[in-house]
Structure 1
Amino acid sequence: MSTESADAAEPGTAAAAPPPANPFARPSAAAPPAPPSAAPDVPPPASPFAPPSVPPPAVPPQPVNPFAPPLLPPPPGSPGPFGASEVIEAGAGAVRKKPRFKVGTLFLAAVLAGPVVGAGVGYAVQASRPPTPLPEIAAPKLSYPAERVDAKALAAAGPQPLDIDGDLRALLVERPAGSEDRTDGDGDGWLSPADLAENYGDSAREFTSMLSEGFRRAAAVSWKSGDDLYQVTLVQYAPEATLKAITNAAPRSTVDADVSAIPGNPDSYLVIGRQPLHYARSTDTYYYGEALARKGNVVMTVAVYAKNPVDRAQLEDIARRQWEKLA
């Protein structure tokens, strides 16, 4: 009786192939899964109904950018992709960088520390000194004169009244009989600074000058006799502007003119022009004569505009009569 299994194949003959599995058969629920065998893995037979395996399409290689810079290894000591700035050898500890102070930082620290140190030293020096006592407060004692004040003496010590007061028009010389009245201004004898400034070429400068020199008031009388025009003006300045009055009592120009004094008044001027002059914005000519004198803070001016050379005797007579009325 043979002890070999009926399933064993005879030597030299190949083992019979197992029948193909039914693809439509359900797995038996009662039969547990077979344990894995130690035999080498053998791929299961392909299902006749499985789709054929298709290999993935080949991806063509990407073209290389001819303008891209070549990839070079980073230089030693440069930060890596994770922020590492130094290469640490195996077994070595972390290396710390030494702090470096810039020149600007050191200069700023010195500038800030200088005043602080100076203030501290100064405070220490001042605190070590003994306190200096302050002087006593001294105030003069008020005192009043025991005697009564003399009213006349007090008035004599104060500002004196004007040498010439009242209506200036009453001090003007009378115009000759038969002459034509040519008084400027409103015709009442009073002249404003603007009226006086019109007698000069630079009216704006003259107007400003008179107001700044203490001009107070002015009166004048003018007349025309034949072809000659006469104008007598009295200009009074404020008491504190007497110096300006003295300055304005001098002639403005003595070019091509004979200068002398009014007879009987050495502190006066008599100016007689030798050459004819032109009126402003006109071709007409005239000869100019002027007499100047000062009485206190009043300046007297006698001017003549003549077609022919000025009659000296007539100008002296008018200036003398006007000065006598002021004196």
Structure 2
Amino acid sequence: MEPNDTISGAPAEPPATAPAEPPAASVRPRPRGRTTLLIAAAALLGISGGTAIGYGIQAQRPPSQLPALSQTELAYPAKPLPADKVPAPLPASQDHQVATDGDLRKLIIDRPAGWSENKDADWLDDGWMSVGDLARDFTHDDSTYEYFLESDIRRIAGASWKKGAHREAAIRLVQFSSGADTAAAGFADGQRSYMPEARGAGNEGDAVKGSGEGRYYVYGVDRKPGYLPFYRARAVMHRGDIMIEVNLYDNRPISKKDIRTLAERQLERV
């Protein structure tokens, strides 16, 4: 996101006797500029003439034969393969597009043992979340909503569970239109970018195994007078055209193992 030294000295004294200047009438000025103009004009004519002659000679020559264009063999067979040699399609368990084009809610992991459905999660409607509700989670203006629309967001599936009196879990799968893998990656990168700051978790987090750039974070405790302490952990990942977010909330400390286990299970499911 430098002074100059000045050197001073006395000028040299003129000679004692200076030669007398010739009378002005005896000096006849020589015309200037004419010779220079003639030389420049000759050079220009030489260049123009040489160019014209060169084009003329080239035009009279027979055209040179161009080398043959090289072309690799076609990457696809000239004829359809026989039925017995056509490769079988991938099973649904290995075809990522088949899985993600189906009911996105089925890609959310099963509720862990000891957890129950969180009926207070008003951001969910039959396992779906609206784009407007997602945008309001980040800002209360229209900029985020417009960002999602411009990124060609497709749909959002979610789940919310409770365990005991205070522990809650929330999972969101944010899917963008087919072929928009960069949108899911960009959304996840944007979320991770501020997590080391005070407005995020305040730390670099830890890598989610097998996720590439995915990370999970455990926040510092948030204490306010008159309220129970608030603890939070979060994981942000993406796979293909889906951004994956896992959150844990409690009034008791949350271990790294707790958030890591949920994050790895959810990533494996997607």
Please state which band the TM-score falls in when normalised by the shorter chain: 0.5 to 0.7
Q: Distance in 1 between matches of 2:118 and 2:129?
A: 15
CA distance in 2, matches of 1:264, 1:241: 21
- Alignment correspondent of 2:101: 165
Give the aligned partner of residue 241 of structure 1: 180
Q: CA deviation at 1:274?
A: 2.1
CA contact (8 A) 1:277 1:287 kept: no
* 3-state SS, counterpart of residue 249 of structure 1: helix
Deviations 1:283-316 (A, max 9, x none): 7762321112211111111012222332211111
Cα distance, 1:311–1:193 mapped onto 2, change above 3 Å: same
Structure 1 unaligned spans of 5+: 1-146, 153-159
Deviates more, 1:227-236 or 1:257-266: 257-266
Deviation at 1:201, TM superposition (A): 3.9
The 1-side partners of 2:173 and 2:213 are apart by 17
1:215-241 per-residue CA deviation (whole Å, 9 max, x = no partner) reads 001100001223122101111111343
2:220 to 262, 274, 288: 274
Letter in 2 for 1:254: P
Look at both structures and tell me which one has the larger radius of gyration over its CA atoms.
1
* Aligned residues with identical type, % of pairs: 25
* TM-score normalised over the length of structure 2: 0.54
Question: 2:179·2:241 contact (CA, 8 Å) conserved in 1?
Answer: no
Which whole-Å CA distance do the structure 2 matches of 1:179 and 1:316 have between them? 20
Q: 1:217 aligns with which of 151, 155, 166?
A: 155
Task: State the 1:162 CA deviation.
Answer: 3.2
CA distance in 2, matches of 1:261, 1:207: 29
Corresponding position of 1:315:
259
What's the secondary structure of 1:267's corresponding residue? coil
| Greater fraction helix | 2
Shift of 1:194: 1.3
Alpha-carbon offset, residue 150 of structure 1: 5.0
1:227 aligned onto 2:171? no
Amino acid in structure 1 at the alignment position of 2:111: R
* Structure with more contact order per residue of length (Cα contacts < 8 Å, sep ≥ 6): 2
- TM-fit CA distance, 1:211: 1.2
> 1-side partners of 2:255 and 2:79: how far apart?
58
What is residue 297 of structure 1 aligned with on the other side?
241
- Within 5 A, what are the aligned runs for 1:116-135? none
- Report how far residue 254 of structure 1 moved: 1.7
Residue 55 of structure 2: aligned partner: none
By how many angstroms is 1:266 displaced? 4.2
Unaligned runs of 5+ in 2: 1-76, 87-94
RMSD, aligned CA: 3.2
Mapped contact 1:224–1:230 kept (Cα < 8 A): yes
**CA-CA distance at 1:270 after TM superposition:** 1.0
Partner of 1:253 in structure 2?
A: 195
For this pair of structures, how many residues does the alignment match? 171
Q: CA deviation at 1:267?
A: 3.1
Look up the match of 1:208. Answer: 146
